[in-house]
Structure 1
């Protein structure tokens, strides 16, 4: 291994601009913390594989956006050409975030591409069912969907750490709810509706927008959190698992539409079998010291109910009572300050720590 290794980050981006903050952060955080030269390569546009061969990288990191290319033959071919152009000696890392979709094709690619390390947000209890040991010639490491970086902390510092000085009682944003999220998609929408209803009933100011309305780009979401005493939410994930890739994402109807049922090949997961993980929003709320009212869950082992967030049952029957706790400023302030110290100030969940540990493992 060279004293100053070269890393190649493969991603695929031709869509929304500007990027969502956490997605941009995930792709480009390696620039600040990788101990060597780093090159970013967008496989979403035409390229000559000889460029990658000439670069001669020691490490190839395949981002979730590039792995999503498996949904279409054209995109899949581009990713395969890019990986094949790297030297055989290069270590290879894959970091998917959407393992509940086209899982079979993903597993095939991991073997074909000679992946050395798989970074996954999946609960370790699910690893063997998603990636059977007999078919797994690569190591697995748990990775969060996002980490904390200094730019995020700097933006958050503009907000008052004193919840009593914040003008908004509760905030939330939800994208359009696609059918392929299953019951988890229903929860993502319902928590927002219930939070808005709580605010109306109590005469509290809310900034809640559903179904993709009121979209916020760049740091606008962080500023909204910093102006809010509370935010509601649920773990990221899906209640449907699609090993064969039979779900037509572009044509999937909203769950609110009548008559939609998943194809027979799709697994309808419940409880502990669901794909669930900490969302970037939960770390952002910890950084901004915003009181989190969340559907109770594991949250990738980072957030603890009653310690870092106010838990709500899955049926949301107690969400109003949980939101009422945000009105107890002494209680809420103690919780957000504790969350900040244990999650943010500790540095355990920073991009600096994540990149250092991953690099040490794969380039050892």
Structure 2
């Protein structure tokens, strides 16, 4: 078969993306046998008339969220829907807005979908009439990166200083009990490990996350690493679960997961389960770090006792697990099997992934061409547009640096107080780049709220914002419902004292937004949308409580209606269609 001209639409030059996203994009461009042209519709103008006619395939990457015009502008949507070629899409996080996502796929004319939903669950998740007409190919969320830990020597078990390691984050509550397990396994093991003579380095806090080569070294220094299935045990087909959680937290901001599960999630729990594997499993196998994991499906890639040590969810078998963690011979045998099956076999390499994608594109293109549903293209005289010459994973350090410089310039131009805080942190941390990497984007989001940089067409609604303190939680809350009955604004003295004493357990932005407003709202307030935790700001607040208290208390300090108990800022928001 002749090589296809493939237009890959991806948010490839976004410096805030995790490395796994860039690796996924780069693998398609690097390993595909077809002619791949890469474009970012978020940053490039719309194609001219008939400009897409030179392509046999338009492939939309999961970094382009088709729900929102901010990711795929209307002009691009129109051009894609009118193109007479095969249209395919990668998708992840398939537990949110499923019905709305499929309706957008129908508008675009998507005929081939690469899904991370396990094959046995595809028909239940994609139950919509249009979805039944698509060809759906199961894929994994990520694959084996060829350069991961390539420059690190294999570290023997005797040299590893950490018995049990783990890093993750707390997921949104509306993903259900399966996603909550990331927190439960960390808390449970931390609570009992020391009784069995095990040292731990376990955290689900955002500020403790580890990136790049530091993550590779961390894994190589652990005897075992914890793990849980990736995915969700609630599929929110129409957005009502997330909306209900937002409304619940609006009234009870300090509510924990268990309370939210009882009050909101119980009727939806287990409506469908998406249980798949994380690329972290491959990274552990590469570094020959044994895995202790809750039992699960894991995309049918790994099996208990063959590739990982199963840990019961009630931790009832932890004594036996702890004994095995101390057993060098057992750990060597299980890590050898995991390495042989997952890494050395090549079955889960990005090369194999690209081959799978090529095969699916060729088969679907041929089928639609035979049925006369698409037009044949010519590749002989087509000149591919210029693409980045280096693989994206080689550019991660440069993008990270550019991102930090951009945030610093923005803060300098927008807020002297935030800029001063950055300088203080740099001095205190001796230029610790890791600390700044987490702090800078959070400060930028706070300044966006503070300085009213969010703009859109006014629709008669204003987004009211106010900082309040509920028990030990600082809440930056927003509402579209005119002037709501706000709580009293935060007392700066109390906030300062709580930060200084380390009594603030969370700083969150929470917006009470109606589901129907969301696609358009994202154009105006995507940097601070939904529920967003400011973990790095909270951590810095212990060392610099006055600076952080001043920044937080100044949010919503202008123009708030008098009946709200203080002054507030208003934000113009785009109208609904």
Name the TM-score class by shorter chain.
0.7 to 0.9
Q: How many Å apart are 1:256 and its aligned residue?
A: 2.5
Q: Contact 1:13/1:44 (CA < 8 Å) preserved in 2?
A: no
Aligned twin of 2:126: 131
User: Aligned Cα RMSD in Å?
Assistant: 2.9
How many corresponding residue pairs? 354
Describe the SS at the equivalent of 2:29: helix
Aligned twin of 1:269: 270
Bigger shift: 170-179 or 260-269? 260-269
Q: How many Å apart are 1:102 and its aligned residue?
A: 0.1
Aligned twin of 1:91: 86
C-alpha distance 46-316 of structure 1, shift in aligned 2 (>3 A): farther
Instruction: Choose between structure 1 and 2 for higher RCO, CA contacts under 8 A separated by at least 6 residues.
Output: 1
Aligned twin of 1:162: 156
Aligned twin of 1:260: 260
Residues 57-110 of structure 1: per-residue CA shift (max 9 Å, x gap): 32222122213x41x4x33652x6435424734322211111110000111122
Alignment partners' CA distance in 1, 2:319 and 2:20: 29
The 5 A counterparts of 1:1-364 are 3-12=2-11, 17-45=15-43, 47-50=45-48, 53=51, 56-67=54-65, 69-70=66-67, 72=68, 74-75=69-70, 78=73, 81-86=75-80, 88-132=83-127, 134-135=129-130, 136-152=132-148, 155-156=149-150, 158-160=152-154, 162-246=156-240, 247-248=242-243, 256-257=256-257, 259-260=259-260, 267-269=268-270, 273-364=272-363
C-alpha distance 313-81 of structure 1, shift in aligned 2 (>3 A): farther
Return the TM-score normalized by structure 1: 0.87
Can you give the 5+ residue segments of structure 2 that lack an aligned partner in the other structure?
364-577
Q: How many Å apart are 1:319 and its aligned residue?
A: 3.6
> Which of structures 1 and 2 has the bigger CA Rg?
2
Residues 173-230 of structure 1: per-residue CA shift (max 9 Å, x gap): 1213321221123211111122323443344332212221312222322221122110
Describe the SS at the equivalent of 1:85: helix
C-alpha distance 201-41 of structure 1, shift in aligned 2 (>3 A): farther
Describe the SS at the equivalent of 1:344: helix
Describe the SS at the equivalent of 1:213: helix
Return the TM-score normalized by structure 2: 0.56
Q: Contact 2:52/2:83 (CA < 8 Å) preserved in 1?
A: no
Aligned twin of 2:496: none
C-alpha distance 51-324 of structure 1, shift in aligned 2 (>3 A): farther
